[in-house]
Amino acid sequence: MTPPAVGFFDSGLGGTTVARAFLRLRPRAPVFYVADWEHCPYGGRPDPDIRARALEIGAELLEERGCAMLVVACNSASAVALDALRAAHPGVPVVGMEPAVKPAAAMSRTGCVGILATAHTLRGRLFRETAARHAAGVRVETAVGEGFVELAEAGDVSSPAARETAARVLAPLLAARCDPIVLGCTHYPLLLPLLRAVAPEARFLDPAEAVARRAASLWDALAAAAR
Ligand code: DGL
């Protein structure tokens, strides 16, 4: 019996940080990955456009490629399209990126956590509800990673312009002594060498691992049912 396939998608390379974390846990799982480069970056596009892209890509992965589950490896698409994807594919496990406010609040050494994400994610209901539910007792500071997706796509983690961009974006979070700073866009972990160089004293939290663990447990259930 062929193991069930998992479909991942993102506006570009960002979701590979999640797919890689999943494949470290389940190396035998067949994986399809769609990078929607034609529409990258999603940041700045109207919500209905991102929702339409997510529905189209979701249908391709599930209906044409035969994937048995979907991982929306993009915080922005999760923020605007998760409900629509689940409604369009009832019975299919659809895993989305969640802003990691709860683990960040639990590990904070300063009582202030930083969330670095796209404007879509920070505006979305998912983030607002998660922050309201899990940020009790800590302050939440947010910042939009303006220019970060472009740097990640270009693989630029060291040019003077990249350092300047990173320093500008991180400045308010560092001034507020945020600990940790959540990487709330799947592209941002690709910039970790840059972020660590600019803010060596900061702790960064990548939610990919937790999402990959959730996807792995759903995949195990599908694989067991297929046997
Ligand atoms: N990787 C994305 C996210 O997690 C997409 C960012 C973009 O394309 O603007 O939000």
Q: Are residues 79 and 151 in the same domain?
A: no
148 falls within a domain: yes
State the pLDDT at residue 202: 98
Q: Are residues 68 and 121 in the same domain?
A: no
1 falls within a domain: no
Percent of the chain's residues with pLDDT above 90 = 89
Mean pLDDT of the chain: 96
Higher local confidence (pLDDT), 51 or 127: 51
Q: Are residues 115 and 191 in the same domain?
A: yes
Q: Give mean pLDDT, residues 112-140.
A: 90
Asked about 185 being catalytic, the answer comes back as yes
Cite the beta strand spans of 1-96 per DSSP E: 6-10, 31-35, 69-72, 94-96
Percent of the chain's residues with pLDDT above 70 = 100
CA of 102 to the centre of ligand 1 (A): 21
- From the candidates 40, 67, 74, 178, give the one annotated as an active-site residue: 74
- From the candidates 40, 67, 178, 185, give the one annotated as an active-site residue: 185
Query: Which residues partner with 102 through β-bridges?
Result: none
Q: Are residues 113 and 202 in the same domain?
A: yes
Question: In terms of residue numbers, what domain contains 34?
Answer: 6-97+209-226
State the pLDDT at residue 168: 98
Helix, strand, coil share of the chain (percent; to 5): 55, 15, 30
Asked about 74 being catalytic, the answer comes back as yes
CA of 45 to the centre of ligand 1 (A): 11
